[in-house]
Every structure is written in structure tokens, then in C-alpha cells.
């Protein structure tokens, strides 16, 4: 499915629903949590990939060059929470050691 294809399908489905049902579904969706392990895993992987991309970009914009070792450390890190913590630190850190430790 092309990127954004799911949005098109959702729009088609929502447009076919009676208004009252559509409103109920739309009200419910912001609180929706993925039910399957499959969906949770792929959403987490997508989030991690996006944060990794930011972690490759933000330090460079701040004048820091990531060594190949640090790039490998980023690629190997599966924890979204740790990646988020590193990204938060990368925005204001004075050095890469402030973000990643001694790696």
C-alpha cells in the first residue's frame, strides 16, 4: 500500500458511515490503543526509527559530528524511551558525551 493509503481507506470508510456513528468513531479514535502485538511492535519500531533520524540530524545541526561508533550505538538501541531521552539531551547538550555518555 502506498504511503498514506491507510488514510485514504479510513476516509472512505468514515465517509460511508451514518453521521452519528462517524462522530462516535472519531471521538473514540484519539484514545485508541493498538490491540495486537504486531501493531504495537511496528508502531514502536517506526517511532524509534524517526527518533534515530532526528538523533542523526540534531547534533550535526549543532556542530557535533557523530562518530561511526555512535551511529552504530543509535542503530542498535531498541528502547524508544532511551532514544527519546537522548534526543531531549541532544537539543541543549554542550557535548556528545552529555548525550550519549562515554561511548
Domain boundaries, the chain: 1-32, 35-103
Contacts for 52 with CB less than 8 Å, ≥ 6 apart: 74, 75, 77, 83
Mean pLDDT computed over 66-95? 91
Quick check: 64 and 96 in contact, CB under 8 A? yes
Burial class of residue 84 (count of CB atoms within 10 Å of its CB; 0-12, 13-18, 19+):
middle
According to the 3-state scheme, what is the secondary structure of 8-30?
HHHHHHHHHCCHHHHHHHHHHHH
For residue range 28-48, list pLDDT tens digits in order. Answer: 877 777 778 888 888 888 889
Average pLDDT, the chain: 86
Mean pLDDT computed over 55-61? 91
Cell of 13: 470508510
Amino acid at each position: 500500500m502506498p504511503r498514506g493509503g491507510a488514510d485514504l481507506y479510513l476516509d472512505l470508510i468514515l465517509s460511508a458511515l451514518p453521521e452519528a456513528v462517524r462522530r462516535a468513531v472519531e471521538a473514540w479514535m484519539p484514545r485508541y490503543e493498538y490491540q495486537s502485538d504486531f501493531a504495537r511492535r511496528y508502531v514502536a519500531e517506526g517511532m524509534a526509527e524517526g527518533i534515530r533520524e532526528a538523533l542523526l540530524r540534531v547534533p550535526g545541526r549543532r556542530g557535533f559530528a557523530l562518530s561511526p561508533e555512535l551511529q552504530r550505538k543509535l542503530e542498535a538501541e531498541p528502547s524508544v524511551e532511551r532514544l527519546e531521552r537522548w534526543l531531549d539531551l541532544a537539543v541543549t547538550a554542550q557535548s556528545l558525551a552529555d548525550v550519549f555518555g562515554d561511548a
